[in-house]
């Protein structure tokens, strides 16, 4: 096993800009799905990974680029092909806009997504990523300015590639269960305010509860009930900020039967009480 975990390079702080190369063999997955306040670009140089992003399962292959927008929930896990090689890059809009305020326009709109970089463009995308790694490693004079310039070029090339791919279907399922787990996650996202149980959903989607529990956890990083709670709490967060409804009513709108359970779950997931969260984001 020739795993390579190269240093994670940071400019200013990890919320502003960071980049890291990893090559790994063997099964591995994130311990927990997570979100963060910055953009993330995940480029797969070789191998294959399973990505769970906003309720969808993606099979990421060589030359694929995942764009994750701030605060979108995501996780990665191994596919049947256990070797992979990737570059992970994170940045804030402030980093790329410094000296070029118009570049931020490329970050507006759209959603987190998979871009299948055409073969003819992969060499140039990889050159930019490797050059950023090299600049961060050597830290020659004015390297931060050059990294920022390379980031701007990368974003422009990504934009042009997406424009050229408009109208083409980029999402495909490698395994029937990827489609089924996506459908189940989307069902939860649409019906979180209803009473939902593992057994009921398993019956509705023609799958045994035990197998659904195992495959859902493997592909998403969540236990079934845990994902349902996260979806409900994220909806409650939106309602707390964007409405003047009482906490009691919001807990019911988010699918909780008891206010005490809602308060306990909210604090466990968010780290604070609903009322404190509302005041902080008013």
pLDDT at 29 exceeding the cut of 70: no
Query: pLDDT value at position 31?
Result: 63
Tell me the β-bridge partners of 83: 25
pLDDT at 26 exceeding the cut of 80: no
Q: pLDDT tens digit string along 189-202?
A: 999 999 999 999 99
Tell me the β-bridge partners of 60: 49
pLDDT at 168 exceeding the cut of 70: no
pTM value? Answer: 0.82
How far apart are the C-alpha atoms of 54 and 251, rounded to whole Å?
22
At CA 273, angle to CA 244 and CA 259, rounded to 5? 70
Query: pLDDT value at position 170?
Result: 56
Quick check: helix, strand or coil at residue 178? helix
How far apart are the C-alpha atoms of 56 and 47, rounded to whole Å?
20
Query: pLDDT value at position 274?
Result: 96
Query: pLDDT value at position 76?
Result: 86
- What distances in angstroms separate CA 233 from CA 186, 216, 270, one per listed residue? 16, 19, 8
Average pLDDT over the chain reads 90
Quick check: helix, strand or coil at residue 262? helix
How far apart are the C-alpha atoms of 210 and 218, rounded to whole Å?
13
Rounded average pLDDT over 4-10: 86
pLDDT at 138 exceeding the cut of 70: yes
Q: pLDDT tens digit string along 62-119?
A: 999 999 999 998 888 887 777 889 999 999 999 999 878 888 788 877 789 999 999 9
Q: Which among 192, 212, 190, 215 is positioned nearest to 203, based on CA atoms? A: 212
Question: What percentage of the chain carries pLDDT values higher than 70?
Answer: 94
Question: What percentage of the chain carries pLDDT values higher than 90?
Answer: 69
Q: pLDDT tens digit string along 100-110?
A: 888 878 887 77
């Amino acid at each position: 096993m020739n795993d390579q975990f190269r240093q994670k390079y940071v400019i200013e702080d990890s919320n502003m800009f960071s980049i890291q190369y990893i090559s790994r063999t063997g099964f591995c997955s994130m311990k927990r799905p997570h979100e963060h306040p910055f953009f993330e670009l995940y480029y797969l140089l070789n191998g294959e990974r399973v990505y769970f992003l906003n309720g969808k399962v993606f099979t990421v292959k060589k030359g694929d680029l995942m764009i994750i927008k701030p605060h979108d929930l995501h996780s990665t896990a191994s596919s049947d092909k256990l070797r992979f090689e990737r570059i992970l890059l994170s940045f804030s809009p402030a980093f790329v806009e410094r000296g070029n305020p118009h570049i931020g326009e490329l970050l507006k709109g759209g959603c987190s997504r998979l871009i299948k970089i055409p073969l003819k463009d992969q060499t140039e995308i990889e050159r930019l990523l490797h050059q950023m790694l090299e600049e961060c490693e050597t830290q020659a004079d004015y390297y931060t300015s050059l990294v920022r310039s390379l980031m701007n070029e990368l974003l422009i090339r990504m934009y042009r590639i997406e424009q050229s791919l408009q109208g083409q279907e980029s999402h495909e399922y490698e395994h029937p269960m990827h489609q089924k787990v996506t459908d189940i996650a989307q069902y939860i996202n649409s019906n979180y305010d209803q009473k939902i149980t593992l057994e009921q959903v398993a019956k509705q989607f023609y799958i045994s509860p035990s197998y659904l529990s195992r495959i859902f956890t493997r592909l998403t990083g969540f236990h079934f009930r845990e994902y349902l709670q996260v979806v409900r709490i994220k909806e409650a967060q939106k309602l707390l900020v964007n409405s003047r409804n009482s906490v009691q009513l919001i807990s019911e709108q988010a699918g909780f039967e008891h206010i005490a359970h809602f308060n306990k779950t909210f604090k466990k997931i968010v780290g604070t009480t609903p009322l404190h969260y509302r005041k902080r984001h008013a």
